[in-house]
Amino acid sequence: MREDKRKANELRTVEIVKGFQEYPEGSALINWGNTRVICAAHMDDKVPPFIKGSGQGWITAEYSMLPGATQGRARREHTPSGRSSEIQRLIGRSLRACCDLSSLGEISIIIDCDVLQADGGTRCASITGGFVALALAVKKLMSMGIITRPPVLNQMAAVSAGIVMGEALLDLDYDEDSRAGVDANFVFAPGGLLAEIQGTAEGRPFSREQLLSLLDLSSAGAEKLFELQRNTLGEVLNEVTARNA
Amino acid sequence: MREDKRKANELRTVEIVKGFQEYPEGSALINWGNTRVICAAHMDDKVPPFIKGSGQGWITAEYSMLPGATQGRARREHTPSGRSSEIQRLIGRSLRACCDLSSLGEISIIIDCDVLQADGGTRCASITGGFVALALAVKKLMSMGIITRPPVLNQMAAVSAGIVMGEALLDLDYDEDSRAGVDANFVFAPGGLLAEIQGTAEGRPFSREQLLSLLDLSSAGAEKLFELQRNTLGEVLNEVTARNA
Amino acid sequence: MREDKRKANELRTVEIVKGFQEYPEGSALINWGNTRVICAAHMDDKVPPFIKGSGQGWITAEYSMLPGATQGRARREHTPSGRSSEIQRLIGRSLRACCDLSSLGEISIIIDCDVLQADGGTRCASITGGFVALALAVKKLMSMGIITRPPVLNQMAAVSAGIVMGEALLDLDYDEDSRAGVDANFVFAPGGLLAEIQGTAEGRPFSREQLLSLLDLSSAGAEKLFELQRNTLGEVLNEVTARNA
Amino acid sequence: MREDKRKANELRTVEIVKGFQEYPEGSALINWGNTRVICAAHMDDKVPPFIKGSGQGWITAEYSMLPGATQGRARREHTPSGRSSEIQRLIGRSLRACCDLSSLGEISIIIDCDVLQADGGTRCASITGGFVALALAVKKLMSMGIITRPPVLNQMAAVSAGIVMGEALLDLDYDEDSRAGVDANFVFAPGGLLAEIQGTAEGRPFSREQLLSLLDLSSAGAEKLFELQRNTLGEVLNEVTARNA
Amino acid sequence: MREDKRKANELRTVEIVKGFQEYPEGSALINWGNTRVICAAHMDDKVPPFIKGSGQGWITAEYSMLPGATQGRARREHTPSGRSSEIQRLIGRSLRACCDLSSLGEISIIIDCDVLQADGGTRCASITGGFVALALAVKKLMSMGIITRPPVLNQMAAVSAGIVMGEALLDLDYDEDSRAGVDANFVFAPGGLLAEIQGTAEGRPFSREQLLSLLDLSSAGAEKLFELQRNTLGEVLNEVTARNA
Amino acid sequence: MREDKRKANELRTVEIVKGFQEYPEGSALINWGNTRVICAAHMDDKVPPFIKGSGQGWITAEYSMLPGATQGRARREHTPSGRSSEIQRLIGRSLRACCDLSSLGEISIIIDCDVLQADGGTRCASITGGFVALALAVKKLMSMGIITRPPVLNQMAAVSAGIVMGEALLDLDYDEDSRAGVDANFVFAPGGLLAEIQGTAEGRPFSREQLLSLLDLSSAGAEKLFELQRNTLGEVLNEVTARNA
């Protein structure tokens, strides 16, 4: 039995508030159980050197915790820690994988994910909320004529699953995560397609079968998140999605 | 006539949400017009070397902007910029000035002020909201027996005033601030007493009389902020206040 | 057909030279096709703060490229880049997962992986060669009486697999990796057990079936690497392995 | 009675040595009691990005202590500390406020203030001596044809005042400053006009009346400093001053 | 009698392996007793600002130790330590002194010297092996048409000598170096000509005569190193050498 | 003929002002032609880890340029540049070589050399003036009972010499140094004994004979500097000098 009475295959309550910050091109606050992340998408008119002149755009992410996000103050990081680097690279890759970068034109979109409160699953919340901020930013940039073709190929959402006391559980909170023997994060496109998979044995190695049970749990959970994204974005999602995706 | 119809001596709408973050000892979100700052107060059981062994405590602050706080993304600062250093030193000094540090015992309280949205007056919002977070943290630490004597000597609040197009105005927003010829910040204790004054000529120097007109405007404005703090904190304010203050 | 004539399920030639450096407690040079990594294991008599006093030991890794490792000089990194951070965290986690840390006692073992030449698969070479350096260091520390119980629970090896032009291939070289649509790294213990899995869609998302084909290819490849480790380490492997693993 | 027999409204002995360093465009050593600051003004042919193309110039400052300046060696600062940042921003703002930046043309002037010896009032000495270095540099740049219109609008000087044991005192030395209950710095243009005011309660807040007593003391003190600047600069001051200032 | 039976004027065994790394323009591994250094020469198409536009090229060096190079792990240096800075400046100066920089054209050559194993004399090994890497790189760049005139003026090699227990010894190993009262490094061109001399008293100062005895020992030793370089480079040396050197 | 009419074997005018800063344990300003360096010696009650517990003391140096020291502002160095590192290591080694470190007791003395004005020879001025600051600090620490035995073994002074247009010249100024084909710095103890020698060919390598001519010039020059140190220090020199030196 889980502490908060959830079933093994049950997500925590997730809600997404559009436009939480006024100034970025797109923004969203995602409340996922007690985990809360502010996602902001800004345009930058420069692209990284390695794609300069290619006509392609770029999407990148920065991830950080507010000092008040954790029990016991989280020190501000002068340079991103190893953990933060790993997470922001994951967010960036995941959100690039949902876009046709050549439709962006030579601009960058930076997704800032600032964790207001951390109770497990901050990277999944960042990707799931980051997609909403990205879609809103794309919509705005299309309305300003900066992006001319809808670049989004598919929705993108992420969810964790893990094995705690021998049982496969969807969407671990901080406390479950601390006791998990296997901990995995899955980034999905609709239809059970994977953009990214990361699984780690915290103690003993795990089997092919255990991996598949986590994959199946999370694949079902992701569909709920896609629905929430669609409800949040409404018509905007159609407008930013490439027809032939 | 001000853009938002305010009178020269009128504050923007200010509201303070207690307990915006769950984990810090005390926290508050202050919405001051379009300026929004998250204030979180954490205890640290260490004090700086220069007061070690004195039996005294310490209060310090960190100030930072979220990347989404401004029009055009605010880059994350690896080390606090000159501006941020100046502001966080001001916040720290101001909040130390409202406490009897010897009543804290040898602990530190760190006030993190993270600007969600910046439309002028972020340092004043940080001090005014930071006082609430501090009071809540003191209350919690008293209830845990870590602080044994109520240490707060008086409320503390800050407000800006400036001279725009020759007219003295209370509480400048970003746009007014950009056009101001004199820009000043005042930190008050109740009764028109000053903890800090900082005034700057943006162009031509200003006179003694102009300084006094700004002082009087802001002194009146501060009283409104004290009232808001009292309404927000209720009984807590009495509990944390030293009787002989 | 692969550039170097390998079959889809064929590893490049891998060889491991024990004791490549004289001073570390354990060291190995792993030549994996054109990829070459120096792995060195040093003891440190301190452990990180979060396990101090627990009686447990710790294993961590640092990963770096020599400037001459790549076509076009690789600049020295002042702080580990995001990519290097991600890799060294993976190596550390993987090698911790093959040891009973409580049998180490309160010491740390640092595995330095310095890439002499990079032609794809440097993180897999680092883990596979790092295991050999670790085992040699454990043997030396046991013979010095610093470690008293054999701590190794199982061998650990890593291999990549990916999908290139629609075909699942084992052990991508740099050129194949650049053209891969899916790129995955698997860290195994013997018997097809997983310590870590990381898969990334470079373009379009991938299916459950594609993931499984990569998992099966790499699981078979890992067995070859375990054999090579056993041949390289000989009797040492038995001596460092916990009997009840 | 003050330690050094000064009256409450008396400055320490101040002298300014022109041209203390040969290579900068302008330089001065200011000896202010035991406080000694080297001020050097260099031209840079670049301006900050935010005024590029505006035709305007810029004046900025850097402030640092020599290790031998204090009792107990002052460590070299790798990045300016919060205190140094605050001071150099104040010096820069103050010296910009005495110039018509559009008369400079698109060049920068950097005022380096290096404290040889610190006995209180280093920021005031930096501004007062920095004005002399600035005027000398402007003169030299005019004679080289780089500046074509005299840009100086008015003299600028700074002095501290504070409340020690209940008494308002002009120009605190280090020892007085340590015991002060209120500590304020005033930057003046001639005629009692203020460019900057910064006052801080070190313990209890202070009243409007106390602020005015400090303002009046310092305003009178500043006139002495203007006289010293005029004596030091002689004819140069006329040559660099805009006629319609 | 020396620990390893060498005579006072005898070098340790030195061998140079050409092309140890495949990707740099030139590379060499130098094994000098137990000291082992990887030297890699890369071309960069930029030159430092101070020679931009002069038509001249530049040669610079970076020096670093692998963590496994020493007894007790050598921490990775985030910025080059004082010692590393000093050494890499010496290597750079020495290798610039063997080339006609105007024959290089406006390119830079960077010599990376990474110490695999350190048993004294790493800077001398870096210079002696670095010359080989440089010559190989020049040859390659000539064959690619990037360098059009042979730029090498003379060979360059370095060797240490010191006074241990009153006796002048050639080529100190780490243990001898630790006990030396005088420690000197000499960089030679053929014919006993000096490019660089650095001598240090570790305890008491030394005399003119002692300096000369070290100079003579090392001058003879350098001739052996020139022979080794010639044997290693063969025909390449002629091809890269300016005829009128 | 030299620009400033000096003979080939003639030093520039050198003078040393004792006690230029009041707060350090010892200080001196050395004016050497147009080169001016402030030398300050502070005590630190800690020693570096590698001699902790040995009963020995330590002497170290820091070297920096004021921004106004050079034609065209010298940027402040956040970390010491390669050049500064090299110089401060040289100063530290040289001043350690004139002291019996075991007579210091377990304290450190830090010599700060801040260049006020740079016209060639700043490292020689730093060592020569640093010796005076050191001796004054030792005297003060002896009078305070912190150092109990006189630790100074001999005076220490440094001077440069070089070959300009084929001629060996003593004590190069900046302009001569820029045109020198060989540039050398010599650190002497009285009697022509060497503590340190550093010679560099700026273009073509130099011969044994050229080296000796520079050594002889500088050895004679150093005797003048010893005389100046003796005149400056007077009786202090005897008091700090070990009798059996």
Please count the other Cβ atoms lying within 10 Å of the Cβ belonging to residue B210.
Answer: 21
DSSP for C106-174, written as a single string: S-EEEEEEEEEE-SS-HHHHHHHHHHHHHHHHHHHHHHTTS--S--B-S--EEEEEEEETTEEEES--H
Query: What is chain D's Cα-based Rg?
Result: 18
For residue D204, pLDDT over 90 is answered with no
Give the residue on E whose Cα is nearest the Cα of F202: E97
Instruction: Indicate which of A17, A18, A20, A22 best probes the interface with B, i.e. most B CBs within 10 Å of its own CB.
Output: A22
Strands (E), chain A: 14-18, 26-32, 35-44, 58-65, 108-117, 157-164, 167-170, 180-189, 193-201
Tens place of pLDDT for every residue, chain A, 245 residues? 799 999 999 999 999 999 999 999 999 999 999 999 999 999 999 999 999 999 999 999 999 999 999 988 999 988 888 899 999 999 999 999 999 999 999 999 999 999 999 999 999 999 999 999 999 999 999 999 999 999 999 999 999 999 999 999 999 999 999 999 999 999 999 999 999 999 999 888 999 999 999 999 999 999 999 999 999 999 999 999 998 55
Mean pLDDT of F50-54: 93
- pLDDT confidence of residue D78: 82
Is residue A33 within 8 A of residue A119, CB to CB? The reply is: yes
Mutating which of E17, E18, E20, E21 best tests the C interface, going by the most C Cβ atoms within 10 A? Answer: E21
pLDDT tier at B244 (50, 70, 90 boundaries)? low
Task: Output the pLDDT for position A244.
Answer: 59
pLDDT tens digits for range B34-66:
999 999 999 999 999 999 999 999 999 999 999
- Asked if the C-beta of F108 comes within 8 angstroms of chain D's C-beta atoms, the answer is no
Q: What is the pLDDT of residue F60?
A: 97
Strand locations in chain F, DSSP E? Answer: 14-18, 26-32, 35-44, 58-65, 108-117, 157-164, 167-170, 180-189, 193-201
CA distance A124 to A187: 8
Phi, psi (deg, nearest 5) at residue B39: -115, 125
Query: A205 to chain C, minimum CA–CA distance in Å?
Result: 5
Q: Summarize pLDDT for F179-193 with one digit per residue, the tens.
A: 999 999 999 999 999
Encode pLDDT of D19-40 as tens digits: 999 999 999 999 999 999 999 9
Integer-rounded Cα Rg, in Å, for chain E is 18
Residue C217 tokens, joined: 């290819």
Terminal CA-CA length for chain D: 41
CB contact under 8 A, E73 and C117: no
Strand partners, E113: E39, E63
Computed on alpha carbons and rounded to an integer, the radius of gyration of chain F in Å comes to 18
For the segment E182-199, the average pLDDT, to the nearest whole number, is: 97
Q: The tokens of D161 are what? A: 């005042």
User: What SS3 class is residue A67?
Assistant: helix
Residue D245 has pLDDT above 60, yes or no: no
Q: CB C22 to CB E78 under 8 A? A: no
Asked whether the beta carbons of A15 and A107 are under 8 A apart, the reply is no
Q: What is the pLDDT of residue D244?
A: 59
- Give pLDDT tens digits for F194-206: 999 999 998 889 9
Quick check: C226 and C190 in contact, CB under 8 A?
Answer: yes
- Going by their DSSP bridges, the two strands A58-65 and A108-117 should be labelled as parallel
Contact at 8 Å (CB) between E35 and E83? no
Which of the residues A60, A100, A102, A194 would you substitute to probe the C interface, choosing the one with the greatest number of C C-beta atoms within 10 Å?
A194
Residues, chain A, total?
245
ipTM of predicted complex: 0.92
Question: According to the model, what pLDDT value does residue C202 have?
Answer: 86
Q: Chain F residues with CB inside 8 Å of E86's CB?
A: 82, 85-86, 89
From the list B8, B12, B10, the residue with the least C-alpha distance to B167 is B8
pLDDT tens by residue, A183-205: 999 999 999 999 999 999 988 89
**How far is E165 from E182, CA to CA, in rounded Å?**
10
Q: How far is F192 from chain E (nearest CA, A)?
A: 7
pLDDT mean across residues, chain D: 95
Contacts (Cβ under 8 Å, ≥6 apart) of E110: C67, C73, E41, E42, E43, E44, E59, E60, E61, E62
Selecting from D192, D200, D207 the residue whose C-beta is nearest the C-beta of B196 gives D200
Residue F244 is predicted with a pLDDT of 59
Share the mean pLDDT of chain B.
95
Q: Confidence band (pLDDT; 50, 70, 90) for D243?
A: confident
Is 90 exceeded by the pLDDT of residue D16? Answer: yes
How many inter-chain contacts (A to B, CB under 8 Å) are there? 83
Gap between the terminal Cα atoms of chain E: 41
Q: Choose among E142, E166, E129, E160: nearest CA to E40.
A: E129
DSSP annotation of A123 reads H
Instruction: Quote the minimal CA–CA distance from C42 to chain A in Å.
Output: 21
pLDDT, tens digit, 9 for 90 and up, residues F61-113:
999 999 999 988 999 988 889 899 999 999 999 999 999 999 999 999 999 99
Q: Which of A153, A189, A192 sits opposite C208 (nearest CB)?
A: A192
Q: For the segment F146-179, what is each residue's pLDDT rounded down to a tens digit?
A: 999 999 999 999 999 999 999 999 999 999 999 9
Alpha carbons A24 and B67: distance in angstroms, whole number: 9
Which residues 63-92 of A have a C-beta within 8 angstroms of B? 64, 66-73, 76, 78-79
pLDDT (tens digit, 9 = 90+) per residue, C81-119? Answer: 989 999 999 999 999 999 999 999 999 999 999 999 999
Distance, in Å, from the CA atom of F134 to the CA atom of F27, rounded to the nearest integer, reads 8
Q: Of F109, F111, F110, F113, which is closest to residue F126 (Cα–Cα)?
A: F113
- Determine the Cα angle at D54 with ends D88 and D140, to 5°: 60
Q: pLDDT per residue over C41-83, tens digit each?
A: 999 999 999 999 999 999 999 999 999 999 889 999 888 898 9
Chain B residues closer than 8 Å to A24 by CB: 68, 73
Angle at the Cα of D221 from the Cα atoms of D219 and D227, rounded to 5 degrees: 110
Q: At A11, which amino acid appears?
A: L
**Predicted pLDDT at C52:** 94
Number of H helices, E strands in chain F: 6, 9
By Cβ distance, the residue of A193, A200, A204 closest to C207 is: A193
More confident site: B181 or F79? B181
Which of A78-82, B82-86, B218-222 has the weakest average pLDDT?
Answer: A78-82
Q: What is the DSSP string of D94-125?
A: HHHTTB-HHHH-S-EEEEEEEEEE-SS-HHHH
* Average pLDDT for chain F: 95
- Whether residue B114 contacts residue B66, with contact meaning beta carbons closer than 8 Å, is answered with yes
Are E62 and C78 inside 8 Å of each other by CB? no
Which band of pLDDT confidence, cut at 50, 70 and 90, is reported for residue C243? confident
> Residues F199, F202, F207, F212: what is their CA dihedral angle, to the nearest 10 degrees?
-40
D76: three-class secondary structure by DSSP: coil
Average pLDDT over residues E131-160: 97
> What pLDDT, on the 0 to 100 scale, is given for residue F46?
94
Q: Do D211 and B195 touch (CB under 8 A)?
A: no
Contacts of A61 (CB under 8 A, 6+ apart): A88, A89, A91, A92, A95, A110, A111, A112, A113, A126, A130
